[in-house]
Amino acid sequence: MNNSEENKKCSEEDLRLLKRKIRVVDEGLSSEARTELWAKIESAIHRPRRVSVSFSMFLRYAAVVAILFTATYYIYTNSSSQEEVDYGSILSNTRLPDEASENVMVILGDKDKIEFEDKDVQVSHDEQGNMRVNQKQIDLPESSAREYNQLIVPHGKTTRVTLSDGSSIWANSGTKLVYPAVFASEKREIYVEGEIYLEVARNEKHPFVVKTDMMEVNVLGTSFNVSAYKNDKQQFVALATGSVAVKVTNKKNVTTMKPNQLYTLEKNTFATKVEDADIYEYICWKDGFLIFRNESLTDVLKKIERYYNVVLTFDPAEVSKVTVSGKLDLKSDIRETFRIISITAPIVYEKEGDVIKISVKQ
């Protein structure tokens, strides 16, 4: 590391990777300690005493052994099940190309990067972690099944992922998803920055957990939407079927949701709200539509930028005063999209090179 700056950067990266792979396990009593404890128990059992006293002592020592081994097992399993993964570091330590790629990308174990030029990309994993993309088998390193994969979905594209447990995920434009190629035996957990719609395979012994940088959603088997874009003011969970429990990270209160409810978290104030809602308005993007009901034009334009991967310029103060209602077909050309918006909203749009300029009619 002292020889050059290049060596130092490489070494620091290797140390970060090594740190994430280290796992501390409480192995409990050593074999010598167990042998010594059992010898004491046998010695106590075989002492010449009345039957009633010997049996009483036996029960006492047996209870002590049971407690010791139960405590050791609890410590081991509890520490294993509560092991936290630093998803933020996984994302921040990933080196992406200097220029944003227009292709869907899967990153294996923080190293190998695979890009897919197809417009519609479907990634699937079987129970062994083998990966197929659009029905084509992908050759993976032997260790990849034990690593966390990253799915990077650029603006202008959406992707569907089938996880090793059979759960399905639709990833929206501008989304980053971290998930294991094969789920560990004790839990199913993923992390999202962006927006996803999930249909979770039911498994009561292994609950499913979706984490963002501010929320944690626990579920057994259901379908719901999670939105957690980095630059948005809110994060929300929209529940279509089943039941989920939502909590803010580092907070104790848990909110249990019912179908057709919307959970909203204000990122600045940590204020939360649960209300009844038309859930299809929040999940229709996976079917190629956007539905707005008295929504700020500023928020609408932000979504259009993501879905079409275009640059829009406008005066936020001017545009925020306009609200929009209606349904947009995202399969339409962007000019047609703005023509439809201009029918219901007082806007003028013009294309200047790669930029679309939006202004409000006076």
- Spell out the residues 6+ positions from residue 56 whose beta carbon is closer than 8 angstroms to its own: none
- Quick check: helix, strand or coil at residue 185? coil
The Cα-based distances of 299 to 192, 211, 295 in angstroms read 21, 24, 7
How would you write the pLDDT of the chain (362 residues) with one tens digit per residue?
677 776 766 666 566 555 554 544 444 555 566 666 666 666 666 555 443 445 455 445 555 444 444 444 333 334 334 467 888 777 877 766 656 678 999 998 757 888 988 878 999 999 888 889 988 888 776 655 567 899 999 998 999 999 999 999 999 999 999 999 899 777 899 999 999 999 999 988 889 999 999 999 999 789 999 999 998 999 999 999 999 999 999 888 999 999 999 999 999 999 999 999 999 999 999 999 999 988 999 999 999 999 988 899 999 888 888 998 889 998 888 888 888 888 888 988 888 877 889 998 87
Fill in the amino acid letter for 126: D
The sign of the torsion formed by the CA atoms of 280, 281, 283, 285 equals: positive
Fill in the amino acid letter for 325: S
Rounded distance, CA 284 to CA 279, Å?
9
State pTM to two decimals: 0.73
